[in-house]
Structures are given as structure tokens and as C-alpha cells.
């Protein structure tokens, strides 16, 4: 690459890393005689910032609501300066935002539940778009390959289900399960319950229905109904015999 072109890219990189009036003047200073109108060149800075903001707005609607517009705007600007777009797919730039928020929480007075909420919202999207192959048929009870388990100190599932109607989620340990329904292809979620964890354990460890009945003392019909229910919800994939061996 010729030095003139290299210098062009370097100068644009410096400007687009932090678009604003000062960086725009610095860009022009590196190209004496450049006659392009500044308001036209600054469009590109606005576009690049706008793409990051629009992705954040789309993926984190409840986090934004919980933070309030001013705090959200400030965090968006600060996050953009970390140059998060390392992936060719636009939404993936959001992946690092929950960790960024967690790091920034103390210094910016962010409520303690907000990083967990952001992690939940990112996971909601990541599960929705998961590339994990989901088999059309399974030989035995199988955990949904898109399943993600989150552990946090707030009742985030109920807060999200209420679309953030409460001021904040209730405090308390929660294991959140998020998975993509294999037919509806939308993300489902729930706070883990003992029956859900039992069915997942059966799937992961390959436990037979009869053995679980024997070990737990549950009625076989109840256990079979539980497996069927979570199969219908897509948390686990059922073999043709319904998973009851």
C-alpha cells in the first residue's frame, strides 16, 4: 500500500474512533487543501456512531429504560470509545456491553441489577440467533442445544416478563434458563425450578424415567407429564417415544 493511502486510512481511523469537532479538525489538518465540506465528512462520523447506538437500543431496551436516557446516552458514548465492533455482524458489537456496564457500574452510580439485566438481554438475543445445530429428531431426551443458564442475584425473569414495570427486580439468587423454541424459533426463558432442573439433569446425564422414579419416589405419571411439558416448551427435545424409557 502506498504511503499516501496508508496515511488516509490512519487519519480516518483516528477520526472515526472518536468523531467530533476536534477530531474532524485534526483530520482536515492532516490533509491540507482538502476542500470537502466539513458537514459532509462529519456525516460519516455520525453514521458510525449511529450504528453502535442503534444496535445498543435494539438489544437492550429494558436496560436503557432502567438507566434513564441521560445515563444511557453517556454509557453509549463511553462504550463506543472502546471500539466494540470487532465482528462483521452489527448486533454482535453488543456482546461486550454487559461486561462494560459491570465495570462502569460503581463509578457511574448504576443500580446493581442493571449489569445482570443487560447480560440477560444480550443472552436473549444470542439465544434467538444461536447457530447451535438443533437436530430434527433425537434418540433420547436431549437438552435444547441453544440453552444458556445465567446465575444472578436478582429476580430478573419476572422483571423482564413485566417489561420492567417495577422500579427494580426483587433481590434474590436466580438461575435463569434461556433457550430458543425449536419450532417457534423465539427465545423462551424461566427462572429455574426443581422440575425443570430435574428434567435437564435427566437429559444431560441420560437418566431413565424408571430410574428417576425409583430414586425420587415421584409418581411415574407425574414425571412423564413434567418431561412432556418441558418438551412441549422446547427446553428439552423429546425422542419419538416421548423420553420415557
Partner 1 sequence: MVTYAQRHGLKPLGAGIGLRRSFYAELPRTGRTLDWVELIPENFLSLGGRSQRALDACAERWPVLPHGVGLNIGGPDALDDDYVRGLSALVKRVDAPFFSDHLCFSRLDGVYLHDLLPLPFSEAAVDHVVPRVREVMDRVGRPFLLENPSYYARMPGGTLREADFLRHVVEQADCGLLLDVNNVYVNARNHGYDARAFVDALPLERVVQIHLAGHTCYPDVIVDTHGDRVCDDVWSLYRYVLARTGPVATLIEWDQDIPSLDAVLDEADVARAALREVAGR
Grid cell listed for 100: 462494560
How many other C-beta atoms can be found within 10 angstroms of the C-beta atom of residue 13?
A: 10
Question: Is position 149 an interface residue for partner 1 (rule: CB under 8 A)?
Answer: no
Q: CB 130 → partner 1: shortest distance, Å?
A: 5
Shortest distance, position 235 Cβ to partner 1, whole Å: 16
| Distance from C-alpha of 190 to C-alpha of 150, rounded to nearest angstrom | 11
88 is a site residue for partner 1 (CB under 8 A):
yes
Binder to partner 1 among 131, 165, 215, 221 (CB under 8 A)? Answer: 131
Place of cell 459532509: 40
Q: Which of 69, 86, 165, 215 binds partner 1 (CB under 8 A)?
A: 86
Yes or no: say if 67 and 114 are a contact pair by the CB < 8 Å rule.
yes
Count of other CB atoms within 10 angstroms of residue 241: 10
| Residue 232 binds partner 1, judged by CB under 8 A | no
Among 41, 102, 160, 213, binds partner 1 (CB under 8 A): 41
Q: Binders of partner 1: how many residues, by CB under 8 A?
A: 41
Q: Exactly one of 39, 70, 136, 139 binds partner 1 (CB under 8 A); which one?
A: 39
In angstroms, the CA 131 to CA 15 distance is: 35
Q: How far is the CB of 204 from partner 1 (least distance, A)?
A: 22
Contact call for residue 40 and partner 1 (CB under 8 A) = yes
Angle among Cα 62, 16, 3 to the nearest 5 degrees reads 155
DSSP 181-234: -TTT-SEEEEE--HHHHHHHHHHHHT--HHHHHHHH---HHHHHHHHHHHHHTT
87 touches partner 1 (CB under 8 A): yes
User: Phi and psi (nearest 5°) for 161?
Assistant: -60, -30
User: In 25-40, which positions are buried (b, 16+ CB within 10 angstroms) versus exposed (e)?
Assistant: eebbeeeeeeeeeeee
119 contributes a contact to partner 1 by CB under 8 A:
no
Among the listed residues 29, 47, 153, 220, the single contact to partner 1 using CB under 8 A: 47
* Residue of 2, 68, 109, 221 interacting with partner 1 (CB under 8 A): 2
Residue 129 sits in the site that holds partner 1 (CB under 8 A): yes
Interface with partner 1 by CB under 8 A: which residues?
1-2, 4-6, 8-9, 12-13, 16-17, 31, 34, 36-37, 39-41, 43-44, 47-48, 51-52, 83, 85-93, 128-132, 180, 185
Amino acid at each position: 500500500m502506498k504511503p499516501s493511502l496508508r496515511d488516509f486510512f490512519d487519519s480516518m481511523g483516528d477520526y472515526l474512533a472518536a468523531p467530533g469537532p476536534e477530531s474532524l479538525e485534526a483530520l482536515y489538518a492532516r490533509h491540507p487543501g482538502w476542500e470537502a465540506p466539513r458537514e459532509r465528512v462529519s456525516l460519516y462520523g455520525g453514521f458510525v456512531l449511529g450504528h453502535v447506538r442503534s444496535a445498543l437500543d435494539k438489544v437492550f431496551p429494558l436496560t436503557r429504560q432502567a438507566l434513564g436516557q441521560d445515563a444511557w446516552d453517556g454509557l453509549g458514548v463511553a462504550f463506543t470509545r472502546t471500539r466494540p465492533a470487532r465482528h462483521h455482524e452489527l448486533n454482535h458489537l453488543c456482546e461486550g456491553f454487559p461486561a462494560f456496564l459491570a465495570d462502569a457500574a460503581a463509578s457511574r452510580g448504576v443500580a446493581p441489577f442493571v449489569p445482570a439485566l443487560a447480560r440477560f438481554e444480550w443472552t436473549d438475543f444470542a439465544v434467538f440467533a444461536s447457530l447451535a445445530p438443533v437436530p430434527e429428531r433425537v434418540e433420547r431426551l436431549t437438552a435444547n442445544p441453544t440453552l444458556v443458564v445465567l446465575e444472578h442475584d436478582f429476580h430478573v425473569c419476572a422483571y423482564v416478563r413485566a417489561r420492567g414495570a417495577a422500579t427494580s427486580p426483587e433481590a434474590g439468587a436466580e438461575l435463569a434458563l434461556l433457550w430458543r423454541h425449536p419450532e417457534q424459533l423465539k427465545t423462551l426463558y424461566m427462572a429455574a425450578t426443581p422440575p425443570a432442573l430435574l428434567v435437564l439433569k435427566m437429559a444431560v446425564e441420560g437418566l431413565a424415567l424408571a430410574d428417576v422414579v425409583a430414586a425420587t419416589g415421584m409418581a411415574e405419571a407425574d414425571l412423564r407429564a413434567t418431561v412432556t411439558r418441558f418438551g412441549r416448551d422446547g427446553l428439552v427435545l423429546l425422542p419419538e417415544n416421548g423420553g420415557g424409557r
